[in-house]
Structure 1
Amino acid sequence: MHILLLLSLPLILFITRYILTLLTTSYTHRTLLSIPGPLWTRFTRLWYFRRVWNGKFEEDNIALHEKYGTVVRIAPGQYSINDRAALRTIYGPGTKFAKSAWYEGWKHPDPERWTLFPDRDIKRHGETRKRFSSLYSMSSLVSYEEFVDQSADVFFQRLGEFADRDAAFNMGEWFQFYAFDVIGQITYGQRFGFLDKGHDIDGTIDALGHVLIYSTLIGIYNEWHPRLFGPLSGFKWSGAGGRAYLMRYVQEKIAQFTSKPKPAVEQGSLKTQTFLEKMILARDKDPEKVTDYHVFMMGLSNIIAGSDTTAISLSAILYHLLHNPPVLANLRAEIDEFTRQGRCSERVTFKESQDMPYFQAVMKEALRMHSATGLPFWRVVPPGGAELSGHFFPEGAVVGVNAWVYHYDEAVFPDAKRFRPERWIEAEEDPARLKVMNEIYMPFGLGSRTCLGKHISILEMSKLIPRILREFDFAAEKATWNTENFWFVKPTDFSVRVRRRASSSEKV
């Protein structure tokens, strides 16, 4: 009997701790008991975990607000909000709403090995972002165009080969090869080789996929992350092992780069500098401000965040164009006309793409309908609590908004499930309406935590889409695609065929 009691003691302690935590949360948040939601969300995070596990939470989140209203309970002490006024309070300038503990799953458990995206320290994040924001700014894009063009050239060769063979292929996978190789060139000055090889190299993309799944799910039960990360790190198939692999990968790339002899040039004299070159120049100039760890951290951030978001967004643009032929025809007409006028180069420049109004509307509408991120941006209510959507949320409550919920708000985007780029052009005539649309448009996040690589992603999309549509015809193999949502809402079977178009000069 005593042995049985001893063996069951850990379970008894776990259950006791769980009940005490639940009672404490319920007492602290007693003023929010009226907030609706699925029954089990009052007692456990398991309901939310299971829904996220299913990989369709962007759809679940929209349905929850349609059923329960503006504020919905997702788990004990955790609430999803669909209220435009709350956006400014939670994510606006000077916000004190820090990232929630869910983001712990996206970093190494060692507190000294923090990275920018999951950093919950508002002050440190702001200081770090200031150090490197210029590397990702719009003004830096011109220096990266040559890198994008080099990968785009290889991508075009591969499309031509698929056209010659009349072979179906997974376009989402090839968009990721492109995005990964572009970020490799921008960061390290060389492609990773995905476009050249035509497949995942050394399991890098597979490792990244495991990181996304692991981090998304362990973040819900983040207290288990320090316990599981170490034992799982030895297995590449695990998310922890995938992160450990990517960390080693970045360290090797940096070591390879720094071991090469450098040309004797002054800072700023290189016509095209890589991200790593700029980082190392900044480190050498002020080692206290930019450390070796900063160089590593930003290199890792580029790898983890630099391919999926762009690949998903590229896929969303092409997918919706293929399933809306009139829109595709209008966009092609614009591209062909710009080409005829000499305003669209063989290698489409970023500036040229910005001058195409219909293309800009197409890109914006596609990212509205299929934002790369599909979970709420969870934040913690700061000391003193906060009034949100008619409820007082006490300190420590977790609140968040999901881009998908806002992007499908019929009050702002009538007929929201319809792909209609014209809505953005029409809104130009109604500044008040356009202001509201832009306020809740968040494919790259919100406020001070907006994706730092946003402009690089837009650069890659802006240069590639007009170019491939001018040169190739695409046909989707399936009427609809399947996706899975582990933070990023990623298509799993975007199968297409491609054939060469007649040259633009023959069409006009």
Structure 2
Amino acid sequence: MFADNIQVLLDARLSTTEAYGAALTLLLVLYCLSWMVYNLYFHPLSTYPGPFWARSSRLWYCYTLIRGTLPFSVYHMHLEYGDIVRIAPDELAYNDPRAWKDIYGHRSGKAEIPKDPNFYLNTAAGHLSIIAAPSERHGTLRRLLSHGFSEKALRDQEPTLQYYADLFIRRLRDQSVTDERIDIVKWYNFFTFDVIGDLAFGESFHCLETGQNHPWIEFIFQIIVQGTLARATDYFPFVKTILLLFIPKSLRDGLATHIALMKSKALHRLNMKTDRADFMTRMAAPNSGISEKEFIASADTILLGGSETTATLLSGVTYYLLQNPRTLKILVEEIRSKFTSEDQIDVVGVNTLDYMLACLNEAFRLYPPVPGALPRRTVVGDTLAGEYVPPNTTVAIYQWAMYRSPKYFSRPEHFIPEHWTEDQKFQNDKRAVVMPFSNGPRNCVGRNLAYVEMRLLLARLLFGFDIEATPEVQGWLKQKVYLLWNKPALWIRLVPREVKFRKQVDDMPSLAAFNKLYS
């Protein structure tokens, strides 16, 4: 009898618990449905077009973000829905050239639209770096950095750039002797990371010397992926703690290692006693007014912005040249008719290679290093690209989507450097829509460095070698995007030409000796 009574009580309690659970589930479903209805029909952005799932919740956006396909999806949305598309309940994507100025540019009589904190604060540098700093502080940081990236400063840094270019060519010559395939993506990364290590931190990462990735290079992409996952969890604050548990431990460990390495490298440069000018010289000055944390955060930004993006564009242009033999032949002829020895290839000379510039610009169009968006977040109502946008709206241009639009380029899916020449067939192209370094007061401070490195290295490569594709090159563009491209290896073969090497150096000297010898 006693046992029967206990069972009755347990059954009653279980029934009550199940009822509560069912009620909570029903309330949650009703809440989600009501929120979707609000987003679809009553939200301030309800009049903007877009797919049902994008307009109704953040789930579609986060799904494509985590899958690494968001820029490609936005491209197709523009084709279907027009120039302004609602890609999330409170977010708009633009395919209108006016948006470059309205969102990112100098706005006469108006304050700038602030950067979206969900995007910019999910980085290792956070709000202290130059890219996420508030407007006034950004101006101070930019003035301190911009001198190191001026054309004059880069001409002064040419011996350093040539040293690493020479080392790059020498290592590729060593590799090509074996007639084995070469992953050119890896070697571009070696070059750009060594240069940025030297000119930002006062010491190379020694990638070109060893032929090995510095562990930091591996960590950086892990950090980008982790930042992408963290952004997705921010949209669901009630369950963020649980969602963060699904981020792999390796990614979390990579972030911790990156922060420790960055702090160590940056403080080494900050405390370095040197008369040599580099990118961080003015920031490192005792009277700069820059805090230690700001210095570290800005160095972190320079490391990523000055290395990975340049290596990406070089990888992209190499792929497209291999896929277009006629274009490659024209560019090779331009380079080899301009220079008769490697010693002649310098920063001034490569600036006269017009067809090379057209090739680089076309690669920026089809394979922009930042293919997605650099979002801003409105704080007041504003008119953007001719349409009113309410406060608390994320707005952005997705570069990959805009640059491939048939509205702005004929044959937009094809690699045609003549888009950037005086060829009359392309005179109606809207070249001004392509702004890979962004626009306005917060455009990329490293633009000059990127062009110098790309022109110099590509000229040296195509002067010294005939390049050939391997079968593995096919399908290389099938990549995911997590802020930056997740690039696979680009396997090529190099056939060395019989050319005179710069200065006939048999063994690479130290950088100091090189600078003294070739200054």
Question: If the TM-score is normalised by the length of the shorter chain, which range does it land in?
Answer: 0.7 to 0.9
Q: Hey, what's the Cα distance between the residues in 2 that align with 1:428 and 1:273?
A: 45
Matches within 5 A, 1:131-210: 131-201=144-214, 203-210=215-222
Deviation at 1:241, TM superposition (A): 3.5
Runs of 4+ in 1 over 6 A off after TM superposition: 2-21, 224-227, 229-232, 427-430
Q: Which amino acid aligns with 1:190?
A: E
- Cα 1:14–1:446 shift into 2, 3 Å: farther
Q: Aligned with 1:491: secondary structure?
A: coil
Q: Distance in 2 between matches of 1:145 and 1:228?
A: 49
1:307-337 deviation digits (Å, cap 9, x = unpaired): 2101110011111111111111111111111
Q: C-alpha separation between the residues in 2 aligned to 1:136 and 1:380?
A: 29
**Mapping of residues 52-63 of structure 1, within 5 Å:** 52-63=65-76
**Partner Cα separation in structure 2 for residue 359 and residue 146 of structure 1:** 22
**Could you tell me which residue of structure 1 aligns to residue 112 of structure 2?**
96
Conserved in 2, the CA contact under 8 Å of 1:149 and 1:347?
A: no
**Letter matched to residue 403 of structure 2:** H
Q: Is it true that 1:480 corresponds to 2:471 in the alignment?
A: no
Q: What do you get for the CA RMSD once the two structures are aligned?
A: 3.4
Determine the C-alpha separation between the residues in 2 that align with 1:171 and 1:14: 52
Aligned equivalents of 1:207, 1:135: Cα separation in 2 = 26
Q: Tell me the secondary structure at the aligned position of residue 421 of structure 2.
A: helix
Does the CA-based 8 Å contact 2:165-2:460 persist in structure 1? no
Deviations 1:16-54 (A, max 9, x none): 886786677567634x32322221112221111221222
Structure 1 position 468, deviation (Å) = 0.5
Give the Å deviation of 1:345: 5.1
Q: What displacement does 1:483 show? A: 1.9
Counterpart amino acid of 1:378? P
Conserved 8 A contact 2:102-2:385: no
Partner in structure 2 of residue 365 of structure 1: 362
Task: Tell me what 2:371 maps to.
Answer: 374
CA distance in 1, matches of 2:187, 2:244: 33
Cα offset, 1:237, TM superposition:
1.9
Partner of 1:118: 132
Count of aligned pairs: 480
Q: For 2:347, which of 335, 345, 350 is the aligned residue? A: 350
Change beyond 3 A, Cα 1:350–1:118: same
Sequence identity percentage: 24
Q: Is the 8 A contact 2:365 2:403 kept in 1?
A: yes
1:442 Cα deviation after fit? 1.4
Which one is further off, 363-372 or 494-503?
A: 494-503
Residues 39 and 56, structure 2, Cα contact 8 Å, conserved in 1? no
Among 261, 266, 274, the residue aligned to 1:254: 266
CA distance in 2, matches of 1:221, 1:200: 31
Q: Find the partner of 1:285 among 284, 287, 297.
A: 287
For residues 33-90 of structure 1, give each alpha carbon's deviation from its aligned partner in whole angstroms, at most 9, with x where no partner exists. Answer: 2322221112221111221222233322221111221122211111111112232211
Q: Name the CA distance, whole Å, in 2 between partners of 1:176 and 1:85.
A: 35
Opposite residue 302 of structure 1, the aligned amino acid is: I
Q: Is the 8 Å Cα contact of residues 346 and 467 (structure 1) preserved in structure 2? A: no
TM-score, length-normalised on structure 1? 0.84
Contact 1:170 1:493 (8 Å CA) reproduced = yes
Using the TM superposition, name which of 361-370 and 442-451 deviates more.
442-451
The alpha-carbon distance between structure 1 residues 256 and 82, as it changes in their structure 2 partners (threshold 3 A), is closer
Any conservation in 1 of the 2:467–2:494 contact (CA below 8 Å)?
Answer: yes
Shift in CA distance, 86/175, structure 1 to aligned 2, threshold 3 Å = same
What one-letter code is carried by the residue in structure 2 that aligns with 1:376?
A: A
Which one of the candidate residues 391, 414, 420 is aligned to 1:418? 414
The structure-2 alpha-carbon separation of the partners of 1:274 and 1:44, relative to structure 1 and needing over 3 Å to count, comes to same
Alpha-carbon distance in 1 for matches of 2:287, 2:80: 57
Q: Deviations over 1:123-169 (max 9, x none)?
A: 33233323322222233211222222222222112211221111113
1:274 equivalent in structure 2:
278
Could you tell me which residue of structure 2 aligns to residue 503 of structure 1?
499
Secondary structure at the residue paired with 2:339?
Answer: helix
Map of 1:46 onto structure 2: 59
| Greater mean deviation of Cα atoms: 20-29 or 297-306 | 20-29
Residue number in structure 1 paired with 2:512? none
Letter matched to residue 387 of structure 1: T
1:213-246 CA distance string (max 9 Å, x none): 12123224435799669988x98721x4433322
CA distance in 2, matches of 1:52, 1:130: 34
Q: Distance in 2 between matches of 1:420 and 1:335?
A: 18
Quote the Cα distance in structure 1 between the aligned partners of 2:219 and 2:29: 34
Which amino acid in structure 1 is aligned with residue 365 of structure 2?
R
Look up the equivalent residue of 1:368 and give its one-letter code: R
Displacement after TM superposition at 1:401 (Å): 0.8
Tell me the amino acid that sits aligned with residue 230 of structure 2.
I
Residue 487 of structure 1: how far off its partner (Å): 0.9
Alpha-carbon distance in structure 1 between the residues aligned to 2:371 and 2:282: 33
Give, in whole Å, the separation in 1 of the partners of 2:93 and 2:355. 34
Partner of 1:78: 91
1:446 matches 2:446: no
Looking at structure 2, the residues matched to 208 and 8 of structure 1 have their Cα atoms a distance apart, in angstroms, of 45
Q: Give the SS at the match of 1:400.
A: strand
Alpha-carbon distance, 1:369 to partner: 1.2
Q: Runs of 5+ in structure 2 lacking a partner?
A: 1-12, 502-519
User: Residues 428 and 216 of structure 1: is their aligned pair in 2 closer, same or farther, counting only changes over 3 Å?
Assistant: farther
2:57 and 2:88 in contact (8 A); partners too: yes
Which residue of structure 1 aligns with residue 458 of structure 2?
Answer: 465
The CA deviation string for residues 243-294 of structure 1, in whole angstroms up to 9 with x for no partner, is 332221122123444666x36xxxxxx4x4233444323xx134xx233233
Question: Which stretches in structure 1 are left out of the alignment for 5+ residues?
Answer: 264-269
SS at match of 1:72: strand
Query: Is the CA contact (8 Å cut-off) linking 2:358 and 2:418 kept in structure 1?
Result: yes
TM-score, with normalisation over the residues of structure 2? 0.82
Distance verdict in 2 for CA 1:416–1:19, change over 3 Å: same
Deviations 1:155-203 (A, max 9, x none): 11221122111111321122111111110011123210222222223x3
| Bigger radius of gyration | 2
Give SS of 1:415's match. coil
CA contact (8 A) 1:102 1:220 kept: no
What is the CA–CA distance in structure 1 between the aligned matches of 2:186 and 2:254, rounded to whole Å? Answer: 19
**Structure 2 CA distance, aligned partners of 1:178 and 1:378?**
30
Q: 1:421-461: CA deviations, max 9, x gaps?
A: 1221116999x957x412x1111222222122222222211
- Report the AA paired with residue 193 of structure 1: H
One-letter amino acid matched to 1:470: F
